[in-house]
Structure formats: C-alpha cells, structure tokens
C-alpha cells in the first residue's frame, strides 16, 4: 500500500522543507520513502537521516508544494530534525535505518521513533482525492502528453465542482493556473 503524505525534512541551514511523497507500506515491513533524483528531500534525508511524516487532509499543501508554494507553517518535531505541519491530523517522527542507493530512485527504510495525533479524521471527500490526483499530474507535466493531462483534469474537475469546500477549490485553481503557466513558459522557451 502507498499512502500520500507530506514529508518535512530540514535543509542544511535548518529550514524546513515540505514535499508530498508516497509512503510505501510493505505488508510486513517497515515504511519506505523513495524520492526520484534530483530531490531536496533526498539530499536532506541523506544528510540528516531523519524526517517527519505528516498525515494531513489539507490538500492545499499537496497542490501548493508542486506549484511552488512551499512555505507551509510548521513547528519543530520532538525527537528528530524535521517539521510538524500545523494542519497535520497526526504525524510520525522517523529515522532512516537503511539506504538502498540508486541512480534513479533510492529507497530509505524508516523506523518510527515518535508518533502523535492532533485532530480527528472526519471522512473522505472526492474533491480532496481529485486534488491529490491533479497534484500528481502536475508533478509529471514534463513526462505526460498534454492531451492526457487535459483529459484527466477535465474528469477530476467534476468531483471538485460537486464536493469541494473553498480550500479544495483554491487548491484546484492553483493546479489549473500552474498547468497554464507551465505551457505558456514552454511556448516562450522557458518552463515556469
Ligand atoms: C501525492 C504525491 C505523491 C508524490 N510522491 C512522490 C514520491 O513518492 N517520490 C518522488 O520523488 N516524488 C513524489 N511526488 C512529487 C514530489 O512531491 C515533487 O517532485 C517534489 O518537488 C519533490 O522534490 P523535492 O524533494 O526536491 O521537494 C509526489 C507528488 C504528489 C502530489
């Protein structure tokens, strides 16, 4: 199983760095993070061997990070170098116990050293799921054909229209605007 979370690592100067990542949960094994190169998260994990896994349903963080809005409020973690998102429903503080290096996608096996729950989970929402899918598409703009991006976003927009709160609608608009800006940048010869 893969759960979509927000990893907060600390950069060399101590600045928290937030990035959405898939947390791989093998049936009987320890959790694994696997960032593609190049990645600030990867560099920070290699250097500090610690991170915070934030479980949040605030999908603005997922959409924002892939659109360049990285400045999400955090507070220091209790036991590791990393940041706890203000909107986290829960978080886990982790240490890296194993690195499988790879030229494309290293794997970091993690050990949880501390966990906290902050707020109740209040149910699933289709617009939140759509924003997560849209954010994944935006993170792959350079890999996927424009046709496919447009078709998938058109389909996802239905759930956003029907079920979004203002937060999900705002996050969706960031994604739509980012796709347009990226294409305009490409047409002008510089990707946004
Ligand atoms: C829901 C979601 C899951 C993602 N999972 C991964 C992942 O497992 N590995 C990865 O390298 N990037 C993943 N991404 C893309 C990264 O968040 C994005 O490329 C980010 O900029 C990572 O680079 P950074 O570490 O330099 O911030 C995901 C994006 C989203 C929206």
Which pLDDT belongs to residue 31?
98
Query: Which of these three, 65, 92, 117, is where a domain ends?
Result: 117
- Ligand 1: distance of its center to the CA of 52 in Å? 15
Q: What is the mean pLDDT of the chain?
A: 97
Q: What is the mean pLDDT of residues 161-167?
A: 98
The closest-lying atom of ligand 1 relative to the alpha carbon of residue 63 is 31
Which residues does a 6 A CB cutoff place in the pocket of ligand 1? 4, 19-22, 34-36, 39-41, 62, 65-66, 132, 135-136, 139
The arithmetic mean of pLDDT across residues 36-59, rounded, is 98
Distance CA(98)–CA(90), nearest Å, equals 24
Q: Cβ contacts of residue 155 below 8 Å, gap of 6+?
A: none
Structurally, the chain folds into a number of domains equal to 2
Tell whether the model's pLDDT for residue 58 goes beyond 80: yes
- How far, in Å, is the centroid of ligand 1 from the Cα of 20? 5
Q: What is the residue with the minimal CA distance to atom 20 of ligand 1?
A: 19
Residue 84 has pLDDT above 90, yes or no: yes
pLDDT score of 191: 52
Domain boundary among 71, 91, 117: 117
């Amino acid at each position: 199983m893969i759960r979509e979370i927000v990893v907060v690592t600390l950069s060399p100067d101590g600045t928290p760095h937030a990035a959405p990542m898939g947390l791989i949960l093998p049936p009987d094994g320890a959790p694994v993070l696997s960032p593609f190169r190049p990645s600030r998260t990867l560099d920070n994990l290699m250097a500090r061997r610690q991170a915070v896994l934030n479980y949040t349903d605030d999908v603005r963080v997922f959409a924002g990070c892939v659109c360049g809005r990285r400045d999400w409020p955090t507070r220091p973690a209790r036991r590791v170098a990393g940041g706890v998102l203000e909107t986290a429903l829960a978080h886990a503080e982790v240490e890296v116990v194993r690195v499988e290096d790879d030229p494309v996608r290293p794997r970091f096996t993690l050990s949880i050293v501390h966990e906290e729950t902050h707020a109740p989970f209040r149910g699933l929402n289709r617009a939140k799921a759509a924003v997560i899918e849209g954010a994944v598409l935006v993170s792959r703009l350079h890999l996927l054909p424009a046709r496919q991006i447009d078709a998938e976003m058109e389909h996802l927009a239905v759930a956003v229209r029907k079920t979004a709160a203002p937060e999900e609608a705002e996050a969706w608009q960031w994604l739509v605007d980012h796709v347009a800006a990226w294409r305009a940048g490409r047409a002008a010869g510089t990707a946004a």
